[in-house]
A = this chain, B = another copy of it.
């Protein structure tokens, strides 16, 4: 710690996810980048899929040390993925890390899923806080997913960020097909596909005859472009979408300024 040049060689990498501290995908992510810096894991203590950018307001948070693997500092936090990033910076690291990585999520987070995904929301929270960030997802929901090819791409993209990035708000959404490495064609920089879920709640009756509803739905891609993440993934590429958090619709802004009179 006394040698500043050595210190600059060891970036602090905050790692989180939404599948919880116990998820194999989190372990795969740590293994992929373990030697690239000082790794600090702060992950939810229970699954938090679909939590989007939720934060915990009405009750307090806790965190405690957890064992993940030798040589890695890890904590389990009672909050959402976004809470994990916030509390990591303020109460665990007591400084901003150099990079935040989230995942590897068990399941796709392409197209509109970036908005629902706890994995991507954690990465977005970091980018909002001027910490370059990337979220990684594999197209396999199984807890037994094979991460061997994914880990190589995670490492390569992380090295790219560390070597070249000067943008503190860099935010990448990376999805990786669930295929052996020899089938993958490389990384493709993409835009978010215009695709969404068509909801279809499944109604059931409880033992008292009252209805309850499970969220189910079908994914539909309306986008015929060959520059989207959905296209890239269907064609065996790793998709990489740079993401923004200025949600202003500037085109609509011009239109409203011109046409709406109050």
Contacts and interface: CB of A to CB of B under 8 A. Distances in A.
Interface in A247-262: 247-250, 252-253, 256-257, 259-260, 262
A62 B212 CA distance: 5
A250 B215 contact: no
B62 A55 contact: no
A23 interface: no
Q: What is the count of identical protomers in the complex? A: 2
Interface of A: 47, 49-58, 60-63, 80, 82-83, 86-87, 89-91, 112, 114-116, 121, 124, 128-129, 156, 160, 164, 167, 170-171, 186-187, 189-192, 194, 196, 199-201, 203-204, 210-215, 240-250, 252-253, 256-257, 259-260, 262
Contacts of A257: 189
From A201, A215, A250, name the one whose CB has the most chain B CB atoms within 10 angstroms: A215
10 contacts: A53-B121, A55-B116, A55-B215, A62-B211, A164-B260, A170-B252, A171-B249, A189-B257, A192-B246, A243-B248
A100 to B, nearest CB: 14
